[in-house]
Amino acid sequence: MFDKSISELHSLLHKKELSVSEIVQSSFDRINTVDEKVKAFMTLNEEGAMQAAKALDGKLGTEEARGLLFGLPVGVKDNIVTKGLRTTASSQLLGNFEPLHNATVVERLNAAETITVGKLNMDEFAMGSSNENSGFYGTRNPWNTDYVPGGSSGGSAASVAAGEVFFSLGSDTGGSIRQPAAFCGVVGLKPTYGLVSRFGLIAFASSLDQIGPITNTVEDNAYLLQSIAGHDKMDSTSANVDVPDYLSSLTGDVKGLRIAVPKEYLAEGVDEDVKNNVLQALKKLEELGASWEEVSLPHSKYAVATYYLLSSSEASANLARFDGVRYGVRAEAENLLDLYKKTRSEGFGDEVKRRIMLGTFALSSGYYDAYYKKAQKVRTLIKNDFEKVFEDYDVIIGPTTPTPAFKVGEKIDNPLTMYANDILTIPVNLAGVPAISVPCGLSNGLPVGLQIIGKHFDERTVYRVAHAFEQATDHHKAKPEL
Partner 1 sequence: MSRITKEQVKHVANLARLEMDEAEVEKFTTQLDDIISMAEQLNELDTENVEPTTHVLDLKNVLREDKAQPWLSREEALKNAPDHANGQVKVPSIFE
Q: Which residues are known catalytic residues?
A: 77, 152, 176
Q: Which stretch binds partner 1 (CB under 8 A): 91-99, 122-130, 167-175, 243-251?
A: 91-99
Could you tell me the smallest distance in angstroms from the CB atom of residue 399 to partner 1? 22
Does the protein bind partner 1 through residue 59 (CB under 8 A)?
no
| Residue number with CB closer to partner 1 (275 or 353) | 353
Residue 250: closest CA among 436, 74, 401, 65: 436
Q: Is 268 in the site for partner 1 (CB under 8 A)?
A: no
According to the binding rule CB under 8 A, does residue 323 interact with partner 1? yes
Q: Which span (163-171, 182-190, 325-333, 399-407) binds partner 1, by CB under 8 A?
A: 325-333
Q: Is 348 in the site for partner 1 (CB under 8 A)?
A: yes
100 sits near partner 1 (criterion: CB under 8 A): yes
Helices of type H across 263-402: 272-287, 303-318, 336-347, 350-363, 374-389
Q: Which of 55, 288, 329, 442 binds partner 1 (CB under 8 A)?
A: 329
Of the candidate spans 53-61, 74-82, 90-98, 180-188, the one that interacts with partner 1 by CB under 8 A turns out to be 90-98
The 10 Å Cβ neighbour count of residue 411 is 19
Binding part of the chain for partner 1, among 322-330, 396-404, 434-442, 463-471 by CB under 8 A, reads 322-330
Region near partner 1 per CB under 8 A, out of 55-63, 147-155, 229-237, 245-253 = 229-237
109 in Cβ contact with 69 (< 8 Å): yes
Name the CA radius of gyration of the chain, rounded.
21
Cβ nearer to partner 1, comparing 144 with 376: 376
> Which of residues 88 and 145 has its CB atom nearest to partner 1 in the complex?
88
Question: Distances in Å between the alpha carbon of 11 and those of 8, 66, 109, 235?
Answer: 5, 10, 19, 35
SS3 for 435-476, per residue? EEEEEEEEECCEEEEEEEECCCCCHHHHHHHHHHHHHHCCHH
Stretch that binds partner 1, among 144-152, 172-180, 262-270, 316-324 (CB under 8 A): 316-324
Nearer to partner 1, 37 or 233 (CB): 233
Q: Please give the Cα distance from 380 to 306 (Å, whole number).
A: 10
Count the residues of the shown chain that bind partner 1, applying the rule CB under 8 A: 69
Q: Using the minimum distance from each CB to partner 1, give the nearer residue, 77 or 344.
A: 344
| Residues 355 to 394 in contact with partner 1, rule: CB under 8 A | 356-358, 360-362, 364, 371, 373-381, 383
For residue 388, count other CB atoms closer than 10 A to its CB. Answer: 14
Q: Is 376 or 473 the residue whose CB approaches partner 1 more closely?
A: 376
CB of 306 to partner 1, least distance (A): 7
Q: How far is the CB of 376 from partner 1 (least distance, A)?
A: 3
What backbone phi and psi angles, to 5 degrees, belong to 212?
-155, 170
Q: Which of 302, 403, 410, 473 binds partner 1 (CB under 8 A)?
A: 302
DSSP 191: P
**From the CB of 93, what's the least distance to partner 1, in Å?**
11
Quick one: 240 exposed, middle or buried, by C-beta within 10 A (0-12, 13-18, 19+)? Answer: exposed
Asked if 70 and 13 touch (Cβ cutoff 8 Å), the reply is yes
CB of 45 to partner 1, least distance (A): 19
When binding is defined by CB under 8 A, the residue of 333, 442, 472, 482 that contacts partner 1 is: 333
Of 69, 79, 249, the C-alpha closest to 171 is 79
Nearest C-alpha neighbor of 397 from the set 246, 293, 480: 293
- Spatial CA neighbour of 191 closest among 238, 124, 259: 238
- Sequence-distant (6+) residues with CB within 8 A of 26 are 1, 2
Q: Judge whether 126 and 312 are in contact, CB under 8 Å.
A: no
The span from the CA of 326 to the CA of 332, in Å, is: 15
Q: List interacting residues with partner 1 (CB under 8 A).
A: 96-98, 100-101, 193-194, 207, 233, 236-237, 239, 299, 301-302, 304-306, 308-309, 316, 320, 323-330, 333-342, 344-345, 348, 353-354, 356-358, 360-362, 364, 371, 373-381, 383, 415-416, 430-432, 456
